[in-house]
Amino acid sequence: MHEMGIAQQLVKIAIDAIPEGIENPRVEILNLKIGKLASVVEHSLTFCFEIISKDTPLETAKLNIDFIPVTLRCKSCDNTWEVTGPVFKCPFCEDGDVQMLTGREIEITSLELADE
C-alpha cells in the first residue's frame, strides 16, 4: 500500500508549510491535487493520513482531493489531449512518442488553518 508513504510525505510537507509563530496551529482542510495515474486510492490515503497525522496539527484535517486528468503531448505533431482510455498514442498523427504533461502529480495546493 503505497498510500502510507504518500501520507507520510504529505504530513511532513504540510507541517513545514504551516507559518511560524502560530500557537497550537490546527489544519482544517488540506487541498490536494492528485493525478489519475498516480494510482492513489482515496479511502486508503484518507485512512493512512489519519494514522500518520495523529498528534500533529493535521490530526483533524480533512483531505480535499482534486483528481487531475491525464494529459499527453505528442512529440511529433505537438498536439496535447486528455486521455480517457488506455490508448497512449497520438489521436492526430498516431505517433506513439508522447510525453506526459499531467496525471502523475501528488501535490498540496493549499492548506486551510482553523481560526481559534
Kindly state the smallest distance separating residue 73's Cβ from Zn ion, in Å.
Answer: 9
Residue 48 marked as a ligand binder: no
Pick between residue 5 and residue 96 the one whose CB is nearest to Zn ion. Answer: 96
Pick between residue 41 and residue 77 the one whose CB is nearest to Zn ion. Answer: 77
Kindly state the smallest distance separating residue 77's Cβ from Zn ion, in Å.
Answer: 3
Q: How many CB atoms lie within 10 A of CB 8?
A: 15
Angle at 62 between CA 58 and CA 66, to 5 degrees: 120
Pick between residue 88 and residue 92 the one whose CB is nearest to Zn ion. Answer: 92
Distance of CA 67 to the CA centre of its chain: 7
> How many contiguous H segments (helices) and E segments (strands) does the chain have?
2, 6
Q: Which of positions 43-82 make contact with Zn ion (CB under 5 A)? A: 74, 76-77
CA distances from 113 to 31, 43, 88, 99 (A): 11, 23, 40, 37
90 binds Zn ion (CB under 5 A): yes
Query: Hey, what's the cell of 80?
Result: 496535447
- Which of 93, 96, 109, 114 is in the footprint of Zn ion by CB under 5 A? 93
**Binding footprint of Zn ion on the chain (CB under 5 A):** 74, 76-77, 90, 92-93, 95
